Amino acid sequence: MKQPEIPISPSKYIKRYLKRCITGPISLLMGLSVTLRYFFNPKRIITEQYPENKKTLKMHPRYRGCLELIEDENDENLCTACGLCEKACPNASINILKTKNIAGKKVLGQYLFHLGSCTQCGLCIEACPFGAIRMNQEFELSSESVDSFDLILNKKEGRG
């Protein structure tokens, strides 16, 4: 709410006006000195030159990027298709299709991951009792086609 202005005498007003004429520009120059110091010391600027520094740019180990299955050199994964990550996911980004192996045991058929609806919350990783999934350090996840957001994470069927 705007307060009513208290009237002051003309002499006081002129005094205040003249004082501000001097202190005003000084305060502006003080602010400008901060800018000028950055201008003459470019080392203090911390802007990263993003597309140029792509090779040296590393995300932190805990960074939550795209979901992936932990696989050894033979493309074998640890997933047992228990479905706990599917239940833990808040927005149904994970679908696990089970199949049966030759012995008749339930194993992982396809690990479907919908990157488009994933919010990178990391609950699936916490829910996994076998440590079979992790989130990689990939951060350039945008794509031109919608189909490329539906990923099949496993290369082989699970061992069970």
Do 122 and 89 form a contact (C-beta atoms < 8 A)? no
**Which of the stretches 17-25, 49-57, 67-75, 144-152 binds other proteins when contact is defined by CB under 8 A?**
17-25
Label residues 63-95 b or e (16+ Cβ within 10 Å = b): ebbbbbbebeeeebbbbbbbeebbebbeeebbe
Question: Binding to other proteins by residue 3, rule CB under 8 A?
Answer: yes
Alpha-carbon distance values, 111 to 26, 36, 45, 126, 148 (Å): 66, 56, 45, 17, 15
Q: How many CB atoms lie within 10 A of CB 157?
A: 18
- For other proteins (CB under 8 A), the number of binding residues is 32
Question: Binding to other proteins by residue 115, rule CB under 8 A?
Answer: no
Nearer Cβ to other proteins (43/145): 43
Site for other proteins in 20-49 (CB under 8 A): 20, 23-25, 27-28, 30-31, 33-35, 46
Contact set with other proteins (CB under 8 A): 1-3, 20, 23-25, 27-28, 30-31, 33-35, 46, 59-60, 62-64, 84, 88, 90, 119-123, 126-127, 129, 135
